[in-house]
Amino acid sequence: MEVKKVAALGAGLMGHGIAQVAAQVAKYEVGLREVKQEFLNKGMEMIKYSLERFLKKGVVSEMEMKETLSRIHPTLDLEEAVAEADLIIEAVPENAQLKKSVLAEVDKLAKEEAIITSNTSSISITELASTLHRPEKFCGMHFFNPPQLMRLVEIIRGAKTSDETVNTIVDVAKKMGKETVVVKKDSPGFVVNRILVPALNEALYLLWEGIADRDDIDKAIQLGLNWPMGPLKLLDYTGLDTTLSIAELLQKELDPKYRPCPLLRQMVRAGLLGRKTGKGFYDWTEK
């Protein structure tokens, strides 16, 4: 199946970046859908800001920037976004019930041959597919933050996902300039978060137990493990609420050993979610 038109559902932290990559690199026509005009405006502003940075660095030309923006069609109308799309990428907040309700609606509005994917970072693909009449045409397509820069896409099979669907999404991801890994078995956290979240959780325990302070924990991992940034700064980038939801899912579905550190719960309750709220372990209000 050839993909020409893409719908990205959600213009938030991940959705706007996915839409940008689809339009800029793969040169797809992209319907970008949000539920409120203010969210749509913010998503488009973030795309423009990202493209302007690429322009300054010489990654794109003025013409390429204009062409990319012309390929992105913002809308509040779900039907308008998905009706002609060959591929739909759901990127709404990491909440199983919300995702399932959106996917069930998409299933009714999308054309029969369309492939539907979810950018979930941890929720069962088989569970999400249970709301669809086409589970064989559904899989996980997990981008990493920020999608404009991060090269990996995890492609996750559900219990009923067809080989054709997986192969099509591998091709689409490559057209977007991405490297892919195929997760053969639907398991919580997939590959990256199954390894990363326990590491982040351990960093939280080091801080919670007073073993080292924030800067030294981040410095140790950055220099000792060659990470591009320390775990506490990475938590701020990812969003503490997102990390908590993944840790809780791993604990529930796999093993009690994934129990989230109390410090993580405390900060989420306080609304200190990281970069998206301006404060987490670091102050982002000036940046």
Catalytic center residues: 121, 142, 154, 193
CATH of the domain at 62: 3.40.50.720
pLDDT, position 180: 98
Question: Cα-Cα-Cα-Cα dihedral of 177, 93, 187, 107, to 10°?
Answer: -80
In a domain, 53, yes or no: yes
CATH of the domain at 236: 1.10.1040.10
pLDDT, position 243: 93
Low-confidence residues of the chain: pLDDT under 70 = 287
Among 152, 183, 214, the domain-final residue is 183
In a domain, 287, yes or no: no
Same-domain pairing of 47 and 171: yes
Same-domain pairing of 34 and 165: yes
Residue 194: HSE in the Cβ half-sphere, 13 Å Cα cutoff: 12
In a domain, 50, yes or no: yes
Convert the pLDDT of each residue in 64-111 to its tens digit. 999 999 999 999 999 999 999 999 999 998 889 999 999 999 999 999
Distant-in-sequence, close-in-space partners of 239: CB < 8 Å, separation ≥ 6: 13, 273, 274, 275, 276
Residues 103, 67: Cα–Cα separation, whole Å = 30
φ and ψ of 145, to 5 deg = -90, 130
Sheet holding 87-90, edge to edge: 72-75, 29-33, 5-9, 87-90, 115-118, 138-143, 152-156, 179-183
Same-domain pairing of 165 and 261: no
Residues 221, 268: Cα–Cα separation, whole Å = 23
In a domain, 254, yes or no: yes
pLDDT, position 287: 55
Distant-in-sequence, close-in-space partners of 206: CB < 8 Å, separation ≥ 6: 212, 217
Same-domain pairing of 174 and 237: no
Same-domain pairing of 105 and 203: no
pLDDT, position 13: 84
Same-domain pairing of 171 and 199: no
Same-domain pairing of 176 and 209: no
Same-domain pairing of 87 and 203: no
Please tell me the pTM assigned to this model: 0.90
Same-domain pairing of 85 and 161: yes
Residues 121, 55: Cα–Cα separation, whole Å = 30
Same-domain pairing of 105 and 213: no
Domain total for the chain?
Answer: 2
Domain span at 87: 5-183
In a domain, 285, yes or no: no
Same-domain pairing of 32 and 146: yes
In a domain, 105, yes or no: yes
Nearest to 182 by CA among 200, 165, 196: 165
DSSP 23-79: HHTS--EEEEE-SSHHHHHHHHHHHHHHHHHHHHTTSS-HHHHHHHHHHEEEES-HH
